[in-house]
Amino acid sequence: MKLTRDRWTAILMLLPSVVLIGVFVYGFIGQTAWTSFSDWGRVSSQALAVNPEIEMVGWQNYRDLFTGFIDVRFRQDLVNTFFFTIFFLAGCLGLGLGLAFLLDQDVKGEGFFRTLFLFPMSLSFVVTGTIWRWMLQPRGGVNVLPTTVGLPAWEFRWLTDRTQIWRFDWNALPGMTGLLVAAILLVVALSSWRGGRRLRAAVALASGVMLGAWALTLGRSVALLPFPELHGFNIAFVGIILAAVWQMSGYTMALYLAGLRGIPSELREAARVDGANEIQLYRHVVLPLLQPITLSAMIILGHISLKIFDLIFAMAGADNATTDVPALLMYLTAFRANQFSKGAAIAMVLLVMVAAVIVPYLWTSLRGETRR
């Protein structure tokens, strides 16, 4: 009897947090979704009215974002985020792993180095952005660094360079996505076949082939826009990527270092006894054991990079279109241009992207936990 009453108390004590999160997270997301289907702010006289008249317009805002004439900036922003995420992840994982390996070699002053590589993590993105804005001045900072040893200054335009590489037509996107998914399905089919799951392999093979065929035939004639529109990787992002890697690679280093320390020394000894040299040891024993850490780091960093906002705001300014991302565009669209419905639609796209990364991760890590 007493236990049950305590259990009720427990639930009661949890309730405020549950209600707060229910309202502030899920309720508000719902409201944002509702706003994204409305026309709030499309009519400029209603945008700032005290009691705006709002009508529902269905998917109009989303249609505009992906296929509308004016919202070309949003589409480039998506492409920017995609490339930024790839290079940011590659940079952090590569540098973090490298530093962790170095520190794992039983070096003197390890604590000092660890502190040094990790300290940028404690800074605000705004501080980092302010510092790197000064570092990357076109005629100063890093560019004149060579002159201190008598070499000619660099000319790279960092944040303001307008060069775009790896360009592709936005209209090719459905076909490209189709091919990519088809390729993944084929890989799934192959591995299922090897694993002896014939039915699964057959289904994956069939759908993969069908999707691939569609992408190569009908998919090519699906045009999102009535005209070709090229997007690509803006070279101006190199500076942002540098600053972001400077700040976050210490995080992956800490993760990897913890992982390396967690590998029992007997395991390494055993490998050495088997005649493995140091490089083989890392390739065949250590790296595979670090794989789960790589996955976690990718997901944590991935969702940070999708949401990146303050770093770019402080570093390149809100109006530097070549270094724009959806998170920043949402702020400008909603709070400066007062197109709340379109801002809400951008936010929802952002949320879906982040959820696609995070939900499977939460799912698997928590399910694994309850099994344990």
Partner 1 sequence: MLRRLLTLLAVAFLGLAAAQSQIEIFSWWAGDEGPALEALIERYEEMYPGVEVINATVTGGSGVNARAVLKTRMLGGDPPDAFQVHAGQELIGTWVVADRMEDLTFLYEEMGWFEKYPQGLIEAMSTEDGIWSVPVNIHRSNVLWYVPANLEGWGITAPDSWAEFLTICPAIQAEGVTPLAVGENWTQQHLWESVALGVLGADDYDKLWTAELPFTDPKAMEVWDVFGEVLACTNDDAAGLSWQQATDMVVGGSAAFNIMGDWAAGYMSTTLGLEPGVGYGWAASPGTDGVFMWLSDAFGLPQGIQNRENTLNWLRLVGSAEGQDIFNPLKGSIAPHLESDLSLYNAYLQSTAADWQSNRVVGSLVHGAAAKEAFMSDFATVLEIYLATGSAMNAANAAQAIATQVGLGQ
Partner 2 sequence: MTTWRRHRWVIYLLLAIASATFLLPVYLVVVTSLKAPADINLATTWSIPQAWHWKSFADAWVVFSPKLANSFTLTIVATIASALMGSMNGYVLSKWRFPGANVVFPLMLFGMFIPYQAILIPLFEFLRSVGLYGGLTGLILAHVVYGLPITTLIFRNYYAEIPDEMLEAGKIDGAGFFGLYGRIVFPLSLPGFVVVIIWQFTQIWNEFLFAVTLTSQESQPITVALAQLAGGEAVRWNLPMAGAIMAALPTLLVYILLGRYFVKGLLAGSVKG
Residue 6 found at the interface with partner 2 (CB under 8 A)? yes
Q: How far is the CB of 10 from partner 2 (least distance, A)?
A: 4
CB-nearer residue toward partner 2: 181 or 299: 299
Tokens of 267: 């395991």
- Which C-beta is closer to partner 1: that of 45 or that of 148? 45
Contact between 177 and partner 2 by CB under 8 A: the answer reads no
Q: List the beta strands (DSSP E) in the chain.
A: 164-169, 230-234
Per the DSSP assignment, residues forming a β-bridge with 145 are none
**Exactly one of 150, 264, 279, 319 binds partner 1 (CB under 8 A); which one?**
319
Burial class (CB in 10 A: 0-12, 13-18, 19+), 81: buried
Task: Judge whether 79 and 232 are in contact, CB under 8 Å.
Answer: yes
Taking the complex as a whole, how short is the minimal distance between the CB of residue 237 and partner 1, in angstroms? Answer: 14
Question: Applying CB under 8 A, does 42 fall inside the site for partner 1?
Answer: yes
Q: Is 166 helix (H, G, I), strand (E, B) or coil?
A: strand
Minimum separation from the CB atom of position 39 to partner 2 (A):
14
Phi-psi region of 49 (alpha: psi -120 to 50; beta: other; left: phi over 0): beta
Comparing CB distances to partner 2, the nearer of 211 and 286 is 286
Query: Of partner 1, partner 2, none, which one sits near residue 218, judging by CB under 5 to 8 A according to partner kind?
Result: none
Q: Count interface residues toward partner 2 (CB under 8 A).
A: 101
- Which of 235, 251, 309, 283 lies closest to 93 in space, CA to CA? 251
SS3 196: coil
Minimum distance, C-beta of residue 253 to partner 2, in the bound complex (Å)? 10
Cα three-residue angle 320-322-327, rounded to 5 degrees: 75
| By the rule CB under 8 A, 9 interacts with partner 2 | yes
In a 3-state reduction of DSSP, which class is residue 234? strand
Decide: 348 and 28 in contact? Cβ < 8 Å.
no
Distance CA 120, CA 220 (A): 46
**Whole-number Å distance between alpha carbons of 182 and 175:** 10
List binders of partner 2 among 262-291 (CB under 8 A): 272, 277-278
Strands of 61-192, DSSP E: 164-169
- For partner 2, give the closer residue by CB, 201 or 334: 334
List the structure tokens of 15: 């309730």
CB of 107 to partner 1, least distance (A): 40
- Contact partner, 14, from partner 1, partner 2, none, Cβ < 5-8 Å per class: partner 2
**Choice between 80 and 294, CB closer to partner 1:** 80
Q: Is 337 in the site for partner 1 (CB under 8 A)?
A: yes
Other residues' Cβ atoms within 10 Å of the Cβ of residue 307:
16
Whole-angstrom distance, CA of residue 73 vs CA of residue 70: 8
The region of 24-32, 68-76, 108-116, 283-291 touching partner 1 under the rule CB under 8 A is: 68-76
Which of the listed partners (partner 2, partner 1, none) does 260 bind, with a CB threshold of 5 to 8 Å by partner kind?
none
Would you give the DSSP letter of residue 338?
-
Q: Which does 92 bind (CB under 5 to 8 A by kind): partner 2, partner 1, none?
A: none
Instruction: Find the binding residues for partner 1 in span 117-146 (CB under 8 A).
Output: 137-139
Q: How far apart are CA 360 and CA 370, in angstroms?
A: 16
**Contact code string over 82-121 relative to partner 1, x by CB under 8 A:** ----------------------------------------
Query: Which window, 46-54, 185-193, 196-204, 277-285, contacts partner 1 (CB under 8 A)?
Result: 46-54
Q: To the nearest whole angstrom, how small is the minimum distance from the Cβ of residue 263 to partner 1?
A: 47
344 binds, among partner 1, partner 2, none (CB under 5 to 8 A by kind): partner 2
